[in-house]
Amino acid sequence: MDHADHPIAVLPGDVRIPLLGFGTWQATGEAGFRAVLDALDAGYRHIDTATMYGNEKEVGRAVRESGLRREDVFLTTKLPPERVGRERETIEESLRALDVDYVDLWLVHWPPSAPGDLIPVWREMLAARDAGLARAVGVSNFSTAQIDELIQATEENPAVNQIRWSPFLYDRQRHAEHRDRGVVLEGYSPFKASDLSDPVLTRIAGAHNVSPAQVVLRWHIDHEIVAIPKSVTPERIRANADVFGFSLTAEEMRDIDALGNV
Ligand SMILES: NC(=O)c1ccc[n+]([C@@H]2O[C@H](COP(=O)([O-])OP(=O)(O)OC[C@H]3O[C@@H](n4cnc5c(N)ncnc54)[C@H](OP(=O)(O)O)[C@@H]3O)[C@@H](O)[C@H]2O)c1
């Protein structure tokens, strides 16, 4: 499948986020640069980084060296909540490190420890978006109740909530709560939060001649949940992007969903 045909979700402001992205936590230095370059070469058009990952410079260099146009790569970075009160300075540092004029998505990496900071941080995120520094803004590791607080205070829903997610954490209700609020669910640690040797995954993988890891990613995408697998291994980077040549049946999707109940 050509990357232009990769499935997407649409965020407020008509911002198109590819459902398959590339994770970069613990991919630092030259290895991080190489991994992102390999990922762009393998067809990923969505890269997930964060101030905390210490690799924005390498991510930016890889995007530049890929020769792709800036508008063809979806870039996410994240605000560490200990930067409360220094939000603008922090995104400006991110943009400088990435060497771009804007990011596509800026997330609050996790809820600030002082509950009173929740709304002020969110207002700063919205202000950065309105200033054109991020095309969309959202959150990470937020509960539905915390998302509701943001919406009640500002009438602006986070475009995305990035949370730990996998078949083994599948929670139909939590997913529906996001959908009902217009918040796209983005899953992280799809493999670390999975048992890739589980018999349900190996059976379904065998039936399609793919790996359990590929089944896990395809399952996210079929649920319209963003998946951001990380790898620094060239073969895995390629295999994790090669998930559009097979599809899961409704029964297989149900069997994988049921892993969340065990
Ligand atoms: N918002 C947050 O708080 C938060 C928290 C955690 C993660 N994230 C984001 O989500 C991304 C993904 O999560 P993650 O890095 O925690 O975990 P992950 O993507 O679930 O797993 C990465 C691990 O799986 C290995 N792996 C990759 N492809 C594989 C395959 N096909 N088969 C078997 N093993 C494979 C990788 O090894 P190699 O690299 O050695 O190939 C690495 O050890 C992160 O990189 C980050 O961008 C966000």
Atom of ligand 1 nearest to the CA of 213: 31
CATH topology of domain 9-258: TIM Barrel (3.20.20)
Query: What's the whole-number mean pLDDT along residues 60-80?
Result: 98
Question: Which pLDDT value is given to residue 140?
Answer: 98
User: Which residue's CA is the closest to the ligand 1 atom numbered 36?
Assistant: 231
User: Which residue's CA is the closest to the ligand 1 atom numbered 29?
Assistant: 236
Mean pLDDT of the chain: 97
Question: Which pLDDT value is given to residue 2?
Answer: 61
- Beta carbons of 225 and 19 less than 8 angstroms apart: yes
Per the confidence metrics, is the pTM higher than 0.95?
yes
Q: Cα dist. 193→20, 76, 170, 213, 250 in Å?
A: 17, 21, 11, 11, 23
Of the given ranges (53-57, 58-62, 240-244, 258-262), which has the lowest mean pLDDT? 258-262
Question: Which pLDDT value is given to residue 5?
Answer: 74
- Beta carbons of 121 and 146 less than 8 angstroms apart: no
Amino acid identity, position 136: A
pLDDT tens digits, 116-171: 999 999 999 999 999 999 999 999 999 999 999 999 999 999 999 999 999 999 99
Question: Which pLDDT value is given to residue 3?
Answer: 65
Q: What are the pocket residues of ligand 1 if the criterion is a CB atom closer than 6 Å to any ligand atom?
A: 23-25, 48, 109, 140-141, 162, 188-192, 196, 211, 213, 228-233, 236, 239-240
pLDDT tens digits, 37-49: 999 999 999 999 9
Question: Which pLDDT value is given to residue 261?
Answer: 84
| Reported confidence tier of residue 262, pLDDT bands at 50, 70, 90 | low
| Reported confidence tier of residue 1, pLDDT bands at 50, 70, 90 | low
Annotated binding residue at 3? no
Host H or E run for residue 106: strand 103-108
Residues sharing a CB contact under 8 Å with residue 260, sequence separation 6 or more, in sequence order: 167, 168, 169, 170, 171, 172
Counting Cα atoms < 13 Å in the Cβ hemisphere of 5 gives 6
Annotated catalytic sites, by residue?
53
For residue 22, the CA-to-ligand 1 centroid distance in Å is 9
- Beta carbons of 212 and 201 less than 8 angstroms apart: yes
In DSSP terms, 185 is beta-bridged to: 161
Which of 100, 146, 93, 143 shows the shortest CA–CA distance to 119?
Answer: 146
- Beta carbons of 98 and 60 less than 8 angstroms apart: yes
Count the Cβ atoms, other than its own, within 10 Å of residue 158. 29
In DSSP terms, 227 is beta-bridged to: 20, 187
pLDDT tens digits, 210-226: 999 999 999 999 999 99
Question: Which pLDDT value is given to residue 40?
Answer: 98
Cα(115)–Cα(150) distance, rounded to whole angstroms?
Answer: 11
- Beta carbons of 219 and 256 less than 8 angstroms apart: yes
| Reported confidence tier of residue 192, pLDDT bands at 50, 70, 90 | very high
